[in-house]
Amino acid sequence: SSGKSQFTNSSQQYTSDGGAGGVELLDWYENHQGSFWCYLAYDKYSVFGKDDSAYAHLPQYNQLVEVFFSDFSYTVTKRGGNNFDFWDISIGLEEA
CA angle (49, 44, 38) in 5-degree steps:
150
* pLDDT value of position 49: 73
pTM, entire model: 0.62
For the stretch 59-90, pLDDT in tens is 777 889 999 999 999 999 887 777 778 889 99
pLDDT at position 1 over 70: no
What confidence tens digit (pLDDT) does each residue in 11-56 have?
A: 456 676 667 788 889 999 999 989 999 988 776 656 777 777 777 7
User: Angle at CA 15, nearest 5°, toward 65 and 54?
Assistant: 50
